[in-house]
Amino acid sequence: MSEFFKKIAEKPFILASGILGVSYSSMKRIFEGGAGAVVTKSIGPILRKGYKNPSIIEILPGTFINSVGLANPGIDNFISEIKELKQNNITTIVSVFGDSIETYTQVAVKAQDAGADAIELNISCPHAEISIICQNKQLTYEYVVAVKKELKIPLIVKLSPNVTDIGEIALSAEKAGADAITAINTVNAMVIDIETQRPILSHGSGGLSGKAIHPIAVKKMFDLYKIVRIPIFGCGGVFTGEDAIEFFLAGASAVQIGSALYQDYNAITNIINSAKKYLEVHNYKSFSDIVGNAHKFETQEAPDF
């Protein structure tokens, strides 16, 4: 197991991309709160302001919709942030996107050169052009192969739930050399203000995150665990230790936490402590002891007649 995956195995809780991932200082807080690694905001080849506000809204308790639109300062402006992260000994996954195979690769390589411990390929943002990649197994294969070729560090591929068969996309990424999968990115959604009759988000639609998508993400994890052999990072609606444990039981090697972190900075520590408490109470030594345990049971495959 590479150095990177060893670190993740020790502390299988990771900050998800796009939440508190603009500057090293918030990522440092999350890391110090107990995360094994942080994923930065998705970084592209050039500065991008993204969509106007409203772009992030809480629509149900603990459920959010966003269309940030991949706002980011561009990789060249972000290098200093990566260096600060590494100076603070923070295990850093840089989330990367581009507008072509070339720019994806360029950004990934620049991030690697700046000291990133791993790259997460964002091919799945539902409210941006790039979502087309993760909807197509061939495109996924091509992008992953190309980026992987230039990397010495591990490559994680982040997938979307907005597809008919996430399994075939994951297999494609695995075949192309991905070292791990993150599932899931946000779920396509829209909220309309009935007074003005217009969609609330400036972009119109956006991605659903938080509590509402947790059972959707757990199902994807359960399905993926049967199909791919590389580690899968579970992502979507982890707010409690219980939510995290569900992911491990469904097959996650690690859990990413995003939306929940809008709360106090100690939210991540509370989640981790509660998940650790579960191990203790149930006499497990580590999270790896429970990975995939939900697959041990027979479920009723055919209905009763």
Partner 1 sequence: MIKKPRMVQISEIVQESKDVKTFTFNIKSILSNYSIQYQDPTPGEFLMVWVPGIDEIPMSLSGFNNNKDWSITVKEVGECTEMLFNLEKSDLVGIRGPFGNGFQIPEFNFNNQLNIVVGGGIGMAPLIPLISELIKLKIKIIVIEGVKSKEEIIFKKYLKNYLIENETFYISTDDGSYGYKGFATDLFNSIIEKEIEKGNKINQVYSCGPEQMMYELFHICEKFNISFQGSLERMMRCGFGMCGLCVLDPSGIRVCREGPILDSKILRTCTDFGKYNRDFSGKKNTI
Q: Which residues bind its own copies (CB under 8 A)?
A: 46-52, 59-61, 63, 65, 69-71, 128, 135, 162-165, 187-192, 194, 197-199, 201-205, 208, 211-213, 215-216, 218-219, 222, 242, 245-246, 249-250, 278, 290, 293-294, 296-297, 299-301, 303-305
> Pattern 124-143, binding to ligand FMN, x per CB under 6 A?
-x------------------
Question: Total number of residues binding ligand FMN (CB under 6 A)?
Answer: 28
Question: Total number of residues binding partner 1 (CB under 8 A)?
Answer: 48
Question: Least CB distance from residue 223 to partner 1, whole Å?
Answer: 21
User: Rounded to whole angstroms, how far apart are CA atoms 218 and 220?
Assistant: 5
Q: Which stretch binds ligand FMN (CB under 6 A): 74-82, 108-116, 143-151, 209-217?
A: 209-217
Question: Least CB distance from residue 38 to its own copies, whole Å?
Answer: 24
How far are the Cα atoms of 22, 85, 107, 187 from residue 207, in angstroms, in the given order? Answer: 19, 28, 24, 5
Alpha helices in 150-263 (DSSP H): 166-175, 214-227, 241-250
Question: Least CB distance from residue 290 to partner 1, whole Å?
Answer: 16
Neighbours of 61 (CB within 10 A): 8
Q: Which of 39, 93, 114, 125 is catalytic?
A: 125
- Contact set for partner 1, span 219-258 (CB under 8 A): none
DSSP 266: T
Tell whether omega for the bond before 199 is within 30 degrees of 0, i.e. cis: no
Angle at alpha carbon of residue 123, lines to 29 and 45, rounded to 5°: 75
Beta bridge partners of 204: 201
Question: Least CB distance from residue 111 to its own copies, whole Å?
Answer: 20
Reading the block at residue 90, the tokens are: 């923070």
Reading the block at residue 249, the tokens are: 């039981």
Active site residue 134: no
Which residues are designated catalytic?
Answer: 125
